[in-house]
């Protein structure tokens, strides 16, 4: 379907409508500065209209293994183009093109300018893409070029989402969650080891260990740090089973975003979801972590700990 566009703002958006009667409506289009030879009725003359980043553009960008390597490296260590070129042993000119392409899909974000521009993975965009793929995988049928493609029934899904307001600045909220987890986590009831738990340790940095320390000095592994991006994001991999037990065959992820709402308060948004689970575990994990003794209690104690520390 052809879309006719009327320029509104040559940097942000345009109004668009389909051929035929009907009022123009605002739609997510981007106006580029590339001349076009033919434009219906001369609208947006001298510009070409391209879609804003979509699931399709993100997926197409990841077909190239070089872009996947860049994205994986940024997930481990956000940084400048120079640091990335050194880590990947990549020619700067080629790397610049790859970063521009990934930024255009919304998967990579930038801060600053010039040689000091810092690149990092846009976690919300990546999670949105994963949600899209998850929805597709769980459809009863998929339309491919108008042809129904039958699929098997989708397995039960485990995902818990919670958010809580913490009366602390963003950096303090991150520090309290990550570095002082043993101080607010209810280790008396929520532990995985056999010995009485006395601390819960999260080692800083991607690849850091996440483990419980018992009163007899033993350490019980919980998982590892997948992304350490203070003070904005934290991603953990957790081998946990229902009923608060360690389950190596279960792999779940916890994604935590710290969103400042003022200079002295932060909205903490958490998602805990299953990636690879034993058969039948999804429903049991949902009951464990979606109930009152799950993330409701955990985040409540975390927020209350922040209030006590402020006092």
| Pairing between β-strand 14-17 and β-strand 141-144 as defined by DSSP bridges | unpaired
Q: What is the pLDDT of residue 306?
A: 75
Summarised one tens digit per residue, pLDDT across range 47-99 is 333 344 567 788 888 888 899 999 988 887 788 898 898 888 888 888 888 99
Summarised one tens digit per residue, pLDDT across range 198-239 is 999 999 998 999 999 999 999 999 999 988 989 999 999 998
Summarised one tens digit per residue, pLDDT across range 259-275 is 999 999 999 999 999 86
- Written as six digits, the tokens of 149 are 């493609």
> In Å, how far are 5, 24, 52, 268 from 47, measured between CA atoms?
10, 19, 15, 41
Instruction: Choose the CATH number for 159-310 among 3.30.530.20, 3.40.50.720, 3.40.50.1820, 1.10.287.110.
Output: 3.30.530.20
Domains of the chain: which residue ranges? Answer: 4-51, 55-124, 159-310
55-124 and 159-310, same CATH topology: no
Q: What is the pLDDT of residue 249?
A: 84
Q: Mapped to the 3 state alphabet, what secondary structure does the chain carry? A: CCCEEEECCCCCCEEEECCCCCCCEEECEEEECCCCCCCHHHCCCCCEEEECCCHHHHHHHCCCHHHHHHHHHHHHCCEEHHHHHHHHCCCHHHHHHHHHHHHHHCCEEEECCHHHCEEEECHHHHHHHHHHHHHHHCCCEEEECCEEEECCCCCCCCEEEEEEEECCCHHHHHHHHHCCHHHHCCCCCCCCCCCCEEEEEECCCCCCEEEEEECCCCEEEEEEEEEEECCCEEEEEECEECCCEECCCCEEEEEEEEEEEECCEEEEEEEEEEEECCCCHHHHHHHHHHCHHHHHHHHHHHHHHHHHHHC
Among 26-35, 126-135, 196-205, whose mean pLDDT is lowest?
26-35
The percent of residues above 90 in pLDDT, for the chain, comes to 34
Q: How far apart (Å, rounded) are the C-alpha atoms in residues 241 and 22?
A: 55
Among 156-160, 178-182, 255-259, whose mean pLDDT is lowest?
156-160
Q: Which CATH number does 55-124 carry?
A: 1.10.10.10
């Amino acid at each position: 379907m052809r879309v006719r566009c009327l320029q509104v703002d040559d940097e942000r958006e345009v109004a668009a409508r389909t051929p035929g009667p009907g009022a123009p409506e605002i739609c997510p289009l981007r106006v580029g500065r590339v001349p076009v030879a033919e434009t219906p009725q001369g609208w947006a003359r001298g510009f070409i209209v391209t879609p804003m980043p979509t699931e399709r553009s993100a997926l197409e960008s990841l077909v190239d293994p070089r872009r996947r390597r860049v994205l994986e490296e940024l997930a481990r260590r956000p940084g400048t183009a120079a640091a990335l070129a050194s880590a990947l042993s990549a020619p700067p000119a080629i790397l610049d093109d790859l970063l521009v392409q990934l930024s255009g899909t919304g998967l990579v974000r930038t801060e600053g300018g010039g040689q000091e521009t810092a690149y990092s993975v846009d976690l919300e965009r990546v999670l949105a893409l994963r949600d899209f793929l998850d929805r597709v995988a769980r459809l009863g049928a998929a339309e491919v070029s108008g042809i129904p493609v039958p699929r098997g029934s989708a397995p039960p899904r485990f995902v818990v989402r919670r958010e809580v307001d913490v009366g602390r600045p963003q950096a303090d909220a991150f520090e309290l969650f990550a570095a002082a987890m043993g101080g607010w986590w209810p280790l008396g009831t929520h532990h995985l080891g056999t010995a009485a738990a006395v601390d819960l340790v999260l080692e800083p940095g991607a690849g850091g260990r996440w483990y419980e320390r018992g009163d007899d000095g033993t350490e019980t592994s919980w998982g590892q740090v997948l992304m350490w991006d203070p003070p904005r994001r934290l991603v953990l991999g957790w081998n946990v089973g229902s009923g608060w037990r360690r389950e190596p065959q279960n792999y779940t992820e916890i994604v935590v975003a710290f969103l400042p709402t003022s200079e002295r308060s932060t909205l903490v948004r958490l998602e805990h979801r299953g990636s690879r689970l034993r058969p039948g575990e999804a429903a049991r994990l949902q009951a464990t972590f979606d109930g009152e003794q799950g993330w409701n209690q955990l985040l409540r104690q975390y927020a209350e700990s922040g209030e006590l520390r402020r006092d």
